[in-house]
Chain A
Amino acid sequence: MNRSPDKAGQRSPDLWSLYEWMFKSRIFEEAVRQIWKDGKISGEMHLGLGEEAIVAGIVSQLIEGDALALDHRGTPPMLMRGVDPLGLLREFMGRPDGLCGGRGGHMHLFAPERLAASSGIVGASGPAAAGFALAGQMLRPGTVSVAFFGDGAINAGMLLESMNLAAVWKLPVIFVCKDNDWAITTPASTAVGGNVLARAQAFGLKAIEVDGAEVGAVWSAAGEALRHARAGHGPVFIRAHCVHLEGHFLGDGLLDTFRRPVYSFRKRTWPMVRGFFRRGGAPWIERIASLRQILGGVLAMQSQTARQGDPLRRTRQVLAEKDAYRLAALESSVRLKIQECVAIALASQGRAL
Chain B
Amino acid sequence: MRRISFSDAIDDALGQAMAADPRLILVGEDVQGLHAGLFVRFGRQRVRNTPISEAAFLGAAVAASMAGLRPVAEIMLVDFIGVAIDALLNHAAKVEAFSGGRWQVPLVVRTTCGGGYGDGGQHEQSLWGWLAHIPGLSVVVPSIPADAGGLMLAALELRSPVVFMEHKLLSSRWLDFLGSGGRETVTYDIPAEGARGFAPDIWEPLAMGTAAVRRDGSDLTIVTLGVGVHRALQAAAILERQGISAGVVDLRSVSPLDKGTLCKEVGRTGRMLVVDEDYESFGLSGELAAVALEAGLVFKYARVCTQTTIPYARNFEDQTLPSVERIVRACTSERWI
Contact = CB atoms under 8 A, between A and B. Distances in A.
Interface of A: 36-40, 42-45, 94-96, 102-105, 107-108, 119-123, 152-153, 155-158, 183-186, 190-192, 249-251, 253-254, 256, 260, 263, 267-268, 271-272, 274-276, 278-282, 286-287, 289-291, 293-294, 297, 350-351, 353
B244 to A, nearest CB: 30
A276 B80 CA distance: 31
A108 B120 contact: yes
Contacts of B43: 281-282, 286-287, 289-290
Given A42-B314, A103-B311, A105-B119, A253 B33 contact: yes
B52 A152 contact: yes
Nearest to B182: A251
Given A108-B122, A122-B52, A280-B15, 16 more contacts: A43-B123, A44-B119, A96-B313, A103-B309, A105-B312, A108-B120, A183-B51, A185-B30, A191-B50, A253-B177, A276-B41, A281-B41, A286-B44, A289-B43, A290-B47, A294-B32
A181 to B, nearest CB: 13
A158 B83 contact: yes
Nearest to B20: A280
Contact of B42 (A44, A96, A282): A282
B117 to A, nearest CB: 6
Given A123-B83, A280-B19, A280-B20, A107 B122 contact: yes
Interface in B300-337: 309, 311-316
Contact of A263 (B20, B29, B33, B182): B182
Contacts of A39: 183, 185-186
Contacts of B123: 43-44, 107, 120
Give the size category of B's interface with A.
35 or more
Contact of B40 (A105, A107, A291, A350): A291
B117 A43 contact: yes
Given A42-B186, A294-B32, A275 B40 contact: yes
Contacts of B39: 272, 275, 290, 294
B205 interface: no
Nearest to A277: B41
B52 A297 contact: no
Given A155-B53, A279-B19, A290-B39, A104 B33 contact: no
Contacts of B309: 103
Interface of B: 8, 15-16, 18-20, 29-30, 32-33, 36-47, 49-56, 79-80, 82-83, 117-123, 176-183, 185-186, 309, 311-316
B44 A294 contact: no
B18 A281 contact: yes
A281 B41 CA distance: 6
Contacts of B176: 267
Given A43-B120, A43-B179, A282 B30 contact: no
**Max chain A Cβ within 10 angstroms of own Cβ: one of B52, B180, B185, B315:** B52
Contacts of A190: 49
Contacts of B82: 121
Contacts of B40: 272, 275-276, 287, 290-291, 294
Given A94-B118, A105-B118, A184-B29, A351 B315 contact: yes
16 contacts: A42-B117, A43-B119, A94-B315, A95-B313, A102-B316, A104-B312, A123-B52, A156-B53, A157-B53, A186-B30, A256-B182, A274-B37, A276-B40, A280-B41, A287-B40, A290-B39
Contacts of B19: 278-281
Given A121-B80, A155-B53, A275 B37 contact: yes
Contacts of B33: 184-185, 253-254, 294, 297
Contacts of B177: 253
**Max chain A Cβ within 10 angstroms of own Cβ: one of B51, B79, B177:** B51
Contact of A108 (B8, B45, B50, B312): B312
B49 A121 contact: no
Contacts of A279: 19
A13 B315 CA distance: 45
